[in-house]
Amino acid sequence: MAQHSGFEAGQDRTEAAAYVAELTHELAGMARRHGLDTLGYLLDMARLEAENIVGSPPPSDGKGKSAHR
C-alpha cells in the first residue's frame, strides 16, 4: 500500500485514528459543498468513530490486557 503524506508506517492506532478523523472531516465538507449530503453524513459517522477511538483506551484482548497493535 502506498504511503500518504501525513501518515507514516509505524504510527500507532490512536495516531492513525486522528489522521482518519482529520481527513474525513475535510472530505465530508467537500461532499456537502457539492450536494452529496448522504456521503457527507457517512463521512461524518466515520469521523465520529475515529474521534471516539482517539479518546478511548486501547482495546482489550479479552483477557483484561490491552491489545497493542
Q: How many helical (H) and strand (E) elements, i.e. helices and strands, does the chain have?
A: 2, 0
**Which of 27, 26, 25 minimizes the C-alpha distance to 47?**
25
Positive or negative torsion for Cα 23, 25, 26, 29: positive
- Per-residue model confidence (pLDDT) at position 56: 77
More confidently predicted of 45 and 9: 45
All three cell numbers of 48, joined, read: 465520529
Q: What would the pLDDT profile of 10-39 be if each residue is shown by its tens digit?
A: 578 999 999 999 999 999 999 999 999 999
Bridge partner list, 60: 66
